[in-house]
Protein backbone atom coordinates (compact mmCIF):
# COMPACT_ATOMS: atom_id res chain seq x y z
CA UNK A 1 0.00 0.00 0.00
CA UNK A 2 2.77 2.43 0.91
CA UNK A 3 4.30 1.74 -2.53
CA UNK A 4 1.46 3.52 -4.32
CA UNK A 5 2.74 6.66 -6.00
CA UNK A 6 -0.81 7.79 -6.68
CA UNK A 7 -2.39 9.83 -3.88
CA UNK A 8 -5.79 8.64 -5.10
CA UNK A 9 -4.79 4.99 -4.76
CA UNK A 10 -3.45 5.66 -1.26
CA UNK A 11 -6.74 7.37 -0.36
CA UNK A 12 -8.87 4.50 -1.67
CA UNK A 13 -6.78 1.75 -0.05
CA UNK A 14 -6.80 3.61 3.28
CA UNK A 15 -10.59 3.91 3.01
CA UNK A 16 -11.06 0.20 2.31
CA UNK A 17 -8.60 -0.77 5.06
CA UNK A 18 -10.53 1.33 7.61
CA UNK A 19 -13.80 -0.22 6.44
CA UNK A 20 -12.48 -3.76 6.83
CA UNK A 21 -11.23 -2.99 10.35
CA UNK A 22 -14.28 -1.05 11.55
CA UNK A 23 -16.67 -3.63 10.10
CA UNK A 24 -14.75 -6.52 11.68
CA UNK A 25 -14.34 -8.28 8.32
CA UNK A 26 -11.66 -10.92 7.70
CA UNK A 27 -8.26 -9.68 6.53
CA UNK A 28 -8.73 -11.76 3.36
CA UNK A 29 -11.43 -9.33 2.23
CA UNK A 30 -8.86 -6.53 2.21
CA UNK A 31 -6.39 -8.76 0.37
CA UNK A 32 -8.97 -9.49 -2.34
CA UNK A 33 -9.97 -5.84 -2.73
CA UNK A 34 -6.51 -4.29 -2.51
CA UNK A 35 -5.59 -5.50 -6.01
CA UNK A 36 -7.70 -5.57 -9.19
CA UNK A 37 -8.71 -8.91 -10.71
CA UNK A 38 -7.48 -7.93 -14.15
CA UNK A 39 -5.67 -4.98 -15.70
CA UNK A 40 -5.40 -4.57 -19.45
CA UNK A 41 -3.01 -1.96 -20.77
CA UNK A 42 -3.09 -1.14 -24.47
CA UNK A 43 -1.65 1.25 -27.01
CA UNK A 44 -4.00 2.96 -29.42
CA UNK A 45 -2.50 4.34 -32.63
CA UNK A 46 -4.41 7.23 -34.18
CA UNK A 47 -3.68 8.90 -37.52
CA UNK A 48 -3.79 12.59 -36.70
CA UNK A 49 -5.13 15.23 -39.08
CA UNK A 50 -1.60 16.25 -40.07
CA UNK A 51 -0.79 12.70 -41.25
CA UNK A 52 1.35 11.66 -38.26
CA UNK A 53 0.49 8.57 -36.23
CA UNK A 54 0.20 9.30 -32.54
CA UNK A 55 0.09 6.43 -30.05
CA UNK A 56 -2.10 6.82 -26.94
CA UNK A 57 -1.92 4.76 -23.76
CA UNK A 58 -5.18 3.15 -22.66
CA UNK A 59 -6.30 0.99 -19.75
CA UNK A 60 -9.22 -1.05 -18.57
CA UNK A 61 -9.12 -2.10 -14.95
CA UNK A 62 -11.50 -4.86 -13.82
CA UNK A 63 -11.37 -4.58 -10.10
CA UNK A 64 -13.89 -7.00 -8.62
CA UNK A 65 -16.63 -9.22 -10.08
CA UNK A 66 -18.08 -10.68 -6.89
CA UNK A 67 -21.45 -8.96 -7.44
CA UNK A 68 -21.68 -9.17 -11.23
CA UNK A 69 -20.14 -7.81 -14.43
CA UNK A 70 -17.61 -4.99 -14.04
CA UNK A 71 -19.15 -1.53 -14.41
CA UNK A 72 -17.57 1.88 -14.57
CA UNK A 73 -16.70 4.77 -16.82
CA UNK A 74 -13.93 5.56 -19.27
CA UNK A 75 -11.91 8.67 -18.52
CA UNK A 76 -10.06 10.69 -21.17
CA UNK A 77 -7.59 12.85 -19.28
CA UNK A 78 -3.98 13.95 -19.91
CA UNK A 79 -2.72 13.14 -16.41
CA UNK A 80 -4.49 9.87 -15.63
CA UNK A 81 -2.19 7.00 -14.61
CA UNK A 82 -2.73 3.26 -14.31
CA UNK A 83 -2.64 3.57 -10.52
CA UNK A 84 -5.32 6.26 -10.61
CA UNK A 85 -7.40 4.00 -12.82
CA UNK A 86 -7.02 1.12 -10.36
CA UNK A 87 -8.15 3.41 -7.55
CA UNK A 88 -11.15 4.62 -9.56
CA UNK A 89 -12.11 1.02 -10.40
CA UNK A 90 -11.97 0.09 -6.70
CA UNK A 91 -14.23 3.05 -5.90
CA UNK A 92 -16.72 1.69 -8.45
CA UNK A 93 -16.72 -1.69 -6.66
CA UNK A 94 -17.66 0.09 -3.42
CA UNK A 95 -20.14 2.46 -5.10
CA UNK A 96 -21.97 -0.25 -7.04
CA UNK A 97 -22.19 -2.48 -3.99
CA UNK A 98 -23.49 0.33 -1.77
CA UNK A 99 -26.15 1.22 -4.37
CA UNK A 100 -27.34 -2.40 -4.44
CA UNK A 101 -26.52 -2.80 -8.15
CA UNK A 102 -25.80 -6.24 -9.64
CA UNK A 103 -22.34 -5.07 -10.72
CA UNK A 104 -18.72 -5.32 -9.81
CA UNK A 105 -16.36 -2.40 -10.33
CA UNK A 106 -14.24 -1.37 -13.29
CA UNK A 107 -12.79 1.74 -14.86
CA UNK A 108 -11.08 2.66 -18.10
CA UNK A 109 -8.82 5.50 -19.09
CA UNK A 110 -6.86 6.99 -21.94
CA UNK A 111 -4.03 9.43 -21.34
CA UNK A 112 -5.14 12.22 -23.64
CA UNK A 113 -6.43 15.76 -23.53
CA UNK A 114 -9.61 15.31 -25.58
CA UNK A 115 -9.92 19.08 -26.10
CA UNK A 116 -6.73 18.99 -28.17
CA UNK A 117 -8.17 16.47 -30.65
CA UNK A 118 -10.28 17.23 -33.69
CA UNK A 119 -13.65 15.50 -33.89
CA UNK A 120 -12.25 12.97 -36.37
CA UNK A 121 -9.24 12.22 -34.17
CA UNK A 122 -11.51 11.78 -31.14
CA UNK A 123 -13.67 9.34 -33.09
CA UNK A 124 -10.59 7.35 -34.18
CA UNK A 125 -9.37 7.20 -30.58
CA UNK A 126 -12.79 6.10 -29.24
CA UNK A 127 -13.09 3.37 -31.86
CA UNK A 128 -9.44 2.37 -31.33
CA UNK A 129 -10.09 1.93 -27.61
CA UNK A 130 -12.86 -0.56 -28.40
CA UNK A 131 -10.81 -2.40 -31.05
CA UNK A 132 -8.06 -2.88 -28.49
CA UNK A 133 -10.32 -3.96 -25.63
CA UNK A 134 -13.54 -5.45 -27.07
CA UNK A 135 -12.52 -8.96 -26.01
CA UNK A 136 -12.77 -8.04 -22.33
CA UNK A 137 -16.01 -6.04 -22.70
CA UNK A 138 -19.67 -7.09 -22.98
CA UNK A 139 -23.10 -6.66 -21.42
CA UNK A 140 -22.54 -9.55 -18.95
CA UNK A 141 -18.77 -9.07 -18.66
CA UNK A 142 -17.75 -5.41 -18.41
CA UNK A 143 -19.99 -2.46 -19.21
CA UNK A 144 -18.23 0.89 -19.67
CA UNK A 145 -20.00 4.22 -19.29
CA UNK A 146 -18.84 7.84 -19.46
CA UNK A 147 -16.50 9.60 -17.03
CA UNK A 148 -14.50 12.85 -17.12
CA UNK A 149 -13.64 13.74 -20.72
CA UNK A 150 -16.12 11.36 -22.39
CA UNK A 151 -19.73 12.03 -23.40
CA UNK A 152 -22.68 10.50 -25.30
CA UNK A 153 -20.95 11.01 -28.65
CA UNK A 154 -17.90 9.04 -27.50
CA UNK A 155 -20.15 6.29 -26.14
CA UNK A 156 -22.04 6.24 -29.48
CA UNK A 157 -18.81 5.68 -31.45
CA UNK A 158 -17.82 2.99 -28.98
CA UNK A 159 -21.10 1.08 -29.14
CA UNK A 160 -21.06 1.35 -32.93
CA UNK A 161 -17.53 -0.07 -33.14
CA UNK A 162 -18.35 -2.82 -30.65
CA UNK A 163 -21.54 -3.77 -32.53
CA UNK A 164 -19.61 -3.98 -35.82
CA UNK A 165 -16.96 -6.23 -34.29
CA UNK A 166 -19.60 -8.52 -32.74
CA UNK A 167 -21.77 -8.51 -35.87
CA UNK A 168 -24.90 -7.59 -33.90
CA UNK A 169 -26.34 -4.48 -32.23
CA UNK A 170 -25.10 -4.55 -28.64
CA UNK A 171 -26.52 -1.50 -26.86
CA UNK A 172 -26.32 -3.01 -23.36
CA UNK A 173 -22.53 -3.28 -23.59
CA UNK A 174 -22.12 0.50 -23.00
CA UNK A 175 -24.15 3.08 -21.09
CA UNK A 176 -24.41 6.83 -21.38
CA UNK A 177 -25.40 6.53 -25.04
CA UNK A 178 -27.52 9.04 -26.94
CA UNK A 179 -31.25 8.32 -26.59
CA UNK A 180 -31.51 7.21 -30.25
CA UNK A 181 -29.02 4.40 -29.59
CA UNK A 182 -30.79 3.13 -26.47
CA UNK A 183 -29.56 5.74 -24.00
CA UNK A 184 -31.67 6.88 -21.07
CA UNK A 185 -32.54 10.59 -21.21
CA UNK A 186 -31.68 11.11 -17.53
CA UNK A 187 -28.14 9.74 -17.84
CA UNK A 188 -26.62 13.00 -19.04
CA UNK A 189 -27.66 14.90 -15.90
CA UNK A 190 -27.98 11.91 -13.55
CA UNK A 191 -24.76 12.34 -11.53
CA UNK A 192 -25.51 15.99 -10.76
CA UNK A 193 -29.19 15.25 -10.13
CA UNK A 194 -28.25 12.49 -7.68
CA UNK A 195 -25.76 14.85 -5.97
CA UNK A 196 -28.54 17.42 -5.56
CA UNK A 197 -30.91 14.86 -4.02
CA UNK A 198 -28.22 13.78 -1.57
CA UNK A 199 -27.35 17.44 -0.84
CA UNK A 200 -30.97 18.08 0.12
CA UNK A 201 -31.25 14.97 2.29
CA UNK A 202 -27.91 15.68 3.99
CA UNK A 203 -28.83 19.33 4.60
CA UNK A 204 -32.09 18.27 6.23
CA UNK A 205 -30.30 15.67 8.33
CA UNK A 206 -27.19 17.60 9.39
CA UNK A 207 -28.09 21.28 9.05
CA UNK A 208 -31.69 21.04 10.20
CA UNK A 209 -33.29 22.11 6.93
CA UNK A 210 -32.45 22.77 3.30
CA UNK A 211 -34.47 25.99 3.05
CA UNK A 212 -32.52 28.96 1.72
CA UNK A 213 -29.11 27.36 2.24
CA UNK A 214 -26.14 28.37 0.13
CA UNK A 215 -23.89 26.06 -1.86
CA UNK A 216 -20.50 26.55 -3.53
CA UNK A 217 -19.47 24.24 -6.34
CA UNK A 218 -15.95 23.48 -7.56
CA UNK A 219 -16.03 22.09 -11.10
CA UNK A 220 -18.62 22.99 -13.71
CA UNK A 221 -18.41 20.02 -16.04
CA UNK A 222 -21.05 17.33 -16.37
CA UNK A 223 -21.27 16.77 -12.61
CA UNK A 224 -20.89 20.30 -11.20
CA UNK A 225 -23.12 22.09 -13.69
CA UNK A 226 -26.04 19.68 -13.22
CA UNK A 227 -25.49 19.58 -9.47
CA UNK A 228 -25.82 23.38 -9.45
CA UNK A 229 -28.84 23.26 -11.78
CA UNK A 230 -30.82 20.73 -9.75
CA UNK A 231 -29.76 22.17 -6.38
CA UNK A 232 -31.05 25.58 -7.45
CA UNK A 233 -34.32 23.95 -8.62
CA UNK A 234 -34.59 22.37 -5.15
CA UNK A 235 -34.27 25.76 -3.43
CA UNK A 236 -30.54 26.11 -2.71
CA UNK A 237 -28.75 29.32 -3.59
CA UNK A 238 -25.59 28.72 -5.64
CA UNK A 239 -23.18 31.43 -4.46
CA UNK A 240 -19.85 30.32 -5.91
CA UNK A 241 -18.62 28.28 -8.86
CA UNK A 242 -15.03 27.44 -9.81
CA UNK A 243 -13.73 25.77 -12.95
CA UNK A 244 -10.49 25.54 -14.92
CA UNK A 245 -10.64 29.28 -15.71
CA UNK A 246 -11.28 30.63 -12.19
CA UNK A 247 -13.98 31.40 -9.64
CA UNK A 248 -17.12 33.50 -9.57
CA UNK A 249 -18.59 34.43 -6.19
CA UNK A 250 -21.95 36.16 -5.89
CA UNK A 251 -23.66 36.15 -2.48
CA UNK A 252 -26.92 37.21 -4.12
CA UNK A 253 -26.92 33.98 -6.14
CA UNK A 254 -25.57 32.82 -9.50
CA UNK A 255 -28.07 32.26 -12.31
CA UNK A 256 -27.17 28.65 -13.08
CA UNK A 257 -28.74 28.41 -16.53
CA UNK A 258 -26.94 31.56 -17.55
CA UNK A 259 -23.69 30.20 -16.12
CA UNK A 260 -24.16 27.00 -18.15
CA UNK A 261 -24.63 29.08 -21.31
CA UNK A 262 -21.51 31.16 -20.58
CA UNK A 263 -19.43 28.02 -20.05
CA UNK A 264 -20.79 26.40 -23.23
CA UNK A 265 -20.00 29.50 -25.27
CA UNK A 266 -16.72 30.71 -23.75
CA UNK A 267 -15.25 27.62 -22.08
CA UNK A 268 -15.12 28.96 -18.49
CA UNK A 269 -17.23 30.38 -15.68
CA UNK A 270 -14.67 33.20 -15.40
CA UNK A 271 -16.61 35.05 -18.11
CA UNK A 272 -19.88 35.01 -16.14
CA UNK A 273 -21.14 38.60 -15.97
CA UNK A 274 -21.72 39.43 -12.31
CA UNK A 275 -20.32 38.82 -8.84
CA UNK A 276 -16.64 38.90 -7.93
CA UNK A 277 -14.22 36.82 -9.92
CA UNK A 278 -10.70 35.51 -9.47
CA UNK A 279 -8.31 33.20 -11.29
CA UNK A 280 -8.29 30.71 -8.39
CA UNK A 281 -9.58 27.36 -9.68
CA UNK A 282 -10.30 26.21 -6.11
CA UNK A 283 -11.94 29.40 -4.82
CA UNK A 284 -15.38 27.81 -4.40
CA UNK A 285 -13.95 25.36 -1.86
CA UNK A 286 -13.29 28.22 0.56
CA UNK A 287 -16.37 30.33 -0.19
CA UNK A 288 -18.71 31.56 2.52
CA UNK A 289 -21.44 28.95 1.98
CA UNK A 290 -23.31 26.36 4.04
CA UNK A 291 -22.36 23.53 1.71
CA UNK A 292 -19.35 22.99 -0.51
CA UNK A 293 -19.28 20.47 -3.35
CA UNK A 294 -15.92 19.40 -4.79
CA UNK A 295 -17.30 18.25 -8.16
CA UNK A 296 -14.13 18.39 -10.27
CA UNK A 297 -11.35 15.85 -9.78
CA UNK A 298 -9.52 13.93 -7.05
CA UNK A 299 -7.17 15.34 -4.35
CA UNK A 300 -8.74 18.79 -4.07
CA UNK A 301 -9.15 18.92 -0.28
CA UNK A 302 -5.83 18.09 1.35
CA UNK A 303 -4.03 18.62 4.67
CA UNK A 304 -2.83 21.95 3.27
CA UNK A 305 -6.19 23.54 2.54
CA UNK A 306 -8.85 21.64 4.56
CA UNK A 307 -8.75 24.28 7.30
CA UNK A 308 -9.81 26.93 4.80
CA UNK A 309 -13.19 25.28 4.24
CA UNK A 310 -15.92 27.39 5.82
CA UNK A 311 -18.91 25.20 4.95
CA UNK A 312 -20.48 22.85 7.48
CA UNK A 313 -21.22 20.14 4.95
CA UNK A 314 -19.11 18.75 2.09
CA UNK A 315 -20.84 16.78 -0.68
CA UNK A 316 -18.38 14.94 -2.94
CA UNK A 317 -19.51 15.00 -6.57
CA UNK A 318 -16.02 14.06 -7.80
CA UNK A 319 -14.35 10.74 -7.12
CA UNK A 320 -11.75 10.93 -4.34
CA UNK A 321 -11.65 14.75 -3.89
CA UNK A 322 -10.79 14.55 -0.15
CA UNK A 323 -7.59 12.95 1.15
CA UNK A 324 -7.79 10.98 4.44
CA UNK A 325 -5.73 13.72 6.18
CA UNK A 326 -8.15 16.40 5.01
CA UNK A 327 -11.11 14.32 6.12
CA UNK A 328 -9.63 14.00 9.62
CA UNK A 329 -9.21 17.77 9.84
CA UNK A 330 -12.77 18.35 8.63
CA UNK A 331 -14.18 15.76 11.06
CA UNK A 332 -12.35 17.40 13.99
CA UNK A 333 -14.02 20.67 13.05
CA UNK A 334 -17.44 19.02 12.94
CA UNK A 335 -17.78 19.21 9.15
CA UNK A 336 -19.71 16.22 7.76
CA UNK A 337 -18.40 14.83 4.45
CA UNK A 338 -20.94 12.98 2.32
CA UNK A 339 -18.63 10.58 0.48
CA UNK A 340 -18.32 10.19 -3.29
CA UNK A 341 -19.52 6.57 -3.28
CA UNK A 342 -22.84 7.78 -1.87
CA UNK A 343 -23.14 11.32 -3.26
CA UNK A 344 -22.16 10.75 -6.89
CA UNK A 345 -23.72 7.31 -7.43
CA UNK A 346 -26.52 8.83 -9.53
CA UNK A 347 -24.48 8.40 -12.71
CA UNK A 348 -23.98 4.69 -12.36
CA UNK A 349 -27.49 4.14 -11.01
CA UNK A 350 -28.87 5.79 -14.17
CA UNK A 351 -26.47 3.65 -16.22
CA UNK A 352 -27.93 0.61 -14.52
CA UNK A 353 -31.47 1.74 -15.43
CA UNK A 354 -30.30 2.24 -19.03
CA UNK A 355 -28.76 -1.25 -19.11
CA UNK A 356 -31.92 -2.83 -17.65
CA UNK A 357 -33.99 -1.26 -20.43
CA UNK A 358 -31.46 -2.32 -23.10
CA UNK A 359 -31.36 -5.97 -22.04
CA UNK A 360 -35.18 -6.01 -22.10
CA UNK A 361 -35.43 -4.07 -25.39
CA UNK A 362 -37.63 -1.59 -23.58
CA UNK A 363 -37.71 2.14 -23.05
CA UNK A 364 -39.86 3.45 -20.23
CA UNK A 365 -39.23 7.20 -20.54
CA UNK A 366 -37.60 10.03 -18.62
CA UNK A 367 -40.17 10.52 -15.85
CA UNK A 368 -40.03 6.92 -14.78
CA UNK A 369 -36.21 6.79 -14.80
CA UNK A 370 -35.93 10.02 -12.86
CA UNK A 371 -38.29 8.85 -10.16
CA UNK A 372 -36.55 5.46 -9.90
CA UNK A 373 -33.19 7.22 -9.68
CA UNK A 374 -34.42 9.60 -6.95
CA UNK A 375 -35.84 6.70 -4.94
CA UNK A 376 -32.65 4.67 -5.19
CA UNK A 377 -30.50 7.64 -4.12
CA UNK A 378 -32.76 8.30 -1.15
CA UNK A 379 -32.78 4.71 -0.01
CA UNK A 380 -28.96 4.52 -0.31
CA UNK A 381 -28.69 7.64 1.80
CA UNK A 382 -31.06 6.39 4.51
CA UNK A 383 -29.47 2.95 4.63
CA UNK A 384 -26.01 4.50 5.04
CA UNK A 385 -27.27 6.75 7.84
CA UNK A 386 -28.66 3.68 9.62
CA UNK A 387 -25.32 1.91 9.35
CA UNK A 388 -23.55 5.05 10.60
CA UNK A 389 -25.70 5.15 13.72
CA UNK A 390 -24.95 1.51 14.57
CA UNK A 391 -21.25 1.87 13.73
CA UNK A 392 -20.79 4.89 15.98
CA UNK A 393 -22.10 2.97 18.97
CA UNK A 394 -18.97 0.82 18.62
CA UNK A 395 -16.53 3.34 17.16
CA UNK A 396 -17.24 7.00 17.93
CA UNK A 397 -14.68 8.18 15.35
CA UNK A 398 -16.42 6.45 12.42
CA UNK A 399 -17.32 8.84 9.60
CA UNK A 400 -20.19 8.73 7.15
CA UNK A 401 -17.65 7.47 4.59
CA UNK A 402 -16.73 4.62 6.92
CA UNK A 403 -20.44 3.73 7.18
CA UNK A 404 -20.88 3.75 3.39
CA UNK A 405 -17.81 1.55 2.96
CA UNK A 406 -18.84 -0.88 5.70
CA UNK A 407 -22.31 -1.21 4.11
CA UNK A 408 -20.71 -1.86 0.71
CA UNK A 409 -18.19 -4.32 2.15
CA UNK A 410 -20.93 -6.30 3.86
CA UNK A 411 -22.60 -7.06 0.52
CA UNK A 412 -19.26 -7.86 -1.12
CA UNK A 413 -18.24 -10.05 1.80
CA UNK A 414 -21.51 -12.01 1.70
CA UNK A 415 -21.32 -12.51 -2.10
CA UNK A 416 -17.74 -13.71 -1.78
CA UNK A 417 -18.72 -16.12 0.98
CA UNK A 418 -21.48 -17.63 -1.18
CA UNK A 419 -19.07 -17.95 -4.06
CA UNK A 420 -16.46 -19.63 -1.86
CA UNK A 421 -13.86 -16.88 -2.20
CA UNK A 422 -13.70 -16.31 1.54
- The residues annotated as belonging to the active site are 107
Nearer to ligand GLU, 175 or 384 (CB): 175
What is d(CA 165, CA 170) in angstroms, rounded to the nearest whole number? Answer: 10
DSSP 167: T
Whole-number minimum distance, CB 351 to ligand GLU, in Å?
A: 3
CA 66 to chain centre: 21
Whole-number minimum distance, CB 284 to ligand GLU, in Å?
A: 20
> Would strands 38-47 and 70-77 be described as parallel, antiparallel, or unpaired?
unpaired
Which residues is 142 bridged to in the sheet? 70, 138
What is d(CA 220, CA 268) in angstroms, rounded to the nearest whole number? Answer: 8
Nearer to ligand GLU, 246 or 317 (CB): 317
Whole-number minimum distance, CB 370 to ligand GLU, in Å?
A: 16
What is d(CA 403, CA 383) in angstroms, rounded to the nearest whole number? Answer: 9
What is the total residue count of the chain?
Answer: 422
Q: Which stretch binds ligand GLU (CB under 6 A): 20-28, 34-42, 342-350, 407-415?
A: 342-350
Residue 226: which of 186, 265, 253, 266 has the closest Cα? 186
Q: Which of 11, 351, 357, 399 binds ligand GLU (CB under 6 A)?
A: 351
Q: Could you give the 3-state DSSP secondary structure of residue 243?
A: strand
Q: Which of 22, 112, 311, 348 binds ligand GLU (CB under 6 A)?
A: 348
Q: Which of 11, 65, 93, 175 binds ligand GLU (CB under 6 A)?
A: 175
Q: Which of 183, 347, 402, 409 binds ligand GLU (CB under 6 A)?
A: 347
User: Taking the alpha carbons of 339, 342, 346, 347 in that order, is the dihedral positive or negative?
Assistant: positive
Nearer to ligand GLU, 174 or 286 (CB): 174
x/- mask, ligand GLU, residues 56-85, rule CB under 6 A, reads ---------------xxx------------
Nearer to ligand GLU, 103 or 286 (CB): 103
Could you tell me the maximum CA-CA distance found in the chain, to the nearest angstrom? Answer: 65
Whole-number minimum distance, CB 71 to ligand GLU, in Å?
A: 5
| CB within 8 Å of 154: residues ≥ 6 apart | 74, 76, 122, 126, 146
Sheet holding 214-218, edge to edge: 276-278, 246-249, 237-243, 214-218, 291-294, 313-315, 336-338
Q: Which stretch binds ligand GLU (CB under 6 A): 50-58, 203-211, 347-355, 412-420?
A: 347-355
Q: Which of residues 111-150 bind ligand GLU (CB under 6 A)?
A: 145-147
Size of site (CB under 6 A) for ligand GLU: 14
x/- mask, ligand GLU, residues 288-327, rule CB under 6 A, reads -------------------------------x--------
Residue 181: which of 384, 405, 386, 358 has the closest Cα? 358
Whole-number minimum distance, CB 48 to ligand GLU, in Å?
A: 27
Nearer to ligand GLU, 62 or 351 (CB): 351
What is d(CA 75, CA 59) in angstroms, rounded to the nearest whole number? Answer: 10
Whole-number minimum distance, CB 293 to ligand GLU, in Å?
A: 15
Query: Looking at beta carbons, which residue is closest to ligand GLU?
Result: 145
x/- mask, ligand GLU, residues 86-115, rule CB under 6 A, reads ---------x--------------------
Q: Could you give the 3-state DSSP secondary structure of residue 247?
A: strand
Residue 404: which of 95, 103, 190 has the closest Cα? 95
State the burial class of residue 367 (Cβ atoms within 10 Å of its Cβ: 0-12, 13-18, 19+). Answer: exposed
Per CB under 6 A, residues contacting ligand GLU are 71-73, 95, 145-147, 175-176, 319, 344, 347-348, 351
Amino acid sequence: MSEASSQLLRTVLTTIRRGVELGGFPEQLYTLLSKPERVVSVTIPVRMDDGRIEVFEGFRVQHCSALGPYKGGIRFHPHVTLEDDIALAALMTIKNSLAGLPYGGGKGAVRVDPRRLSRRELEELSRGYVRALHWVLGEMLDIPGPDAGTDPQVMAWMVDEYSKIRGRFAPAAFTGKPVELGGDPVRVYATGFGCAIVTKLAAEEFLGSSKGLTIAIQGFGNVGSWHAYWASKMGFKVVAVSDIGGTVYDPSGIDVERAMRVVRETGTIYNYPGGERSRDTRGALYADADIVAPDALENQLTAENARLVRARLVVEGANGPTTPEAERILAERGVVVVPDVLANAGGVVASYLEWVQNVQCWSWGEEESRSRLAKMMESNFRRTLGVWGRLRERAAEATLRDAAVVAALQRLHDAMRWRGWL
